[in-house]
Amino acid sequence: MADAKTPFELMMSQAQEMVKAMNPALETFTPKGFDALWPTMPKEWMEMAFGKTLNTEGLDAKTRLFLTLAGLTMQGAQAEAQIRMTVRHLIEAGATKQEIGECIAQMSMFAGLPAMTKAGEIANDVMKDHEAAQKDEDTE
């Protein structure tokens, strides 16, 4: 019984073999950049779907996105693709770099410095990419 596997290990091994057989391209799949597959929603659409359009006394879309970013940071900033998408949408909704940084920094008191640092690094990457894209658009 030197190489006995747990039922979970057997199940995962079988699932991996099945995925390889069904789509060999997934053998090299990496979740990095997965967030880029989802487009950024226009500000007006976000406000209509998630903001005050249907709930006039409720939260606006930008505030809801800040709450989402705070929650993702609180979870230890483990959901990198979701943080990237949320920061992208916050920028589209009109949030400033200062506001995004403050939201993440506020969570350090509750989630700890490692979670805040990780979320901050992810947010900085997104903001740098956005600034580079803006420069490219300006030069065209």
pLDDT in tens, 75-110: 887 888 899 999 999 999 999 999 999 999 999 998
The predicted pLDDT at position 32 comes to 63
Overall pTM > 0.75: no
Torsion of CA 41, 47, 49, 55, to 10 degrees: 170
Report d(CA 7, CA 50) in Å as an integer.
Answer: 42
Give CA–CA dist 27/16, Å, rounded: 8
- State which H helix or E strand residue 2 sits in: none
Which pLDDT does position 31 carry in this prediction? 61
The class (CATH top level) of 30-139 is: mainly alpha
The pLDDT of residue 55 is: 79
Alpha helices (H) in the chain, listed in sequence order: 7-22, 43-50, 61-74, 80-92, 97-106, 108-111, 113-139
Please report the pLDDT score of residue 51 as a whole number.
80
Give the length of the chain: 140
For 23, other C-beta atoms within 10 Å of its C-beta total: 10
Q: Left (φ > 0), alpha (ψ -120 to 50) or beta: where does 33 sit?
A: left
Summarize pLDDT for 28-70 with one digit per residue, the tens: 666 666 677 777 888 888 888 888 777 788 889 999 999 999 9
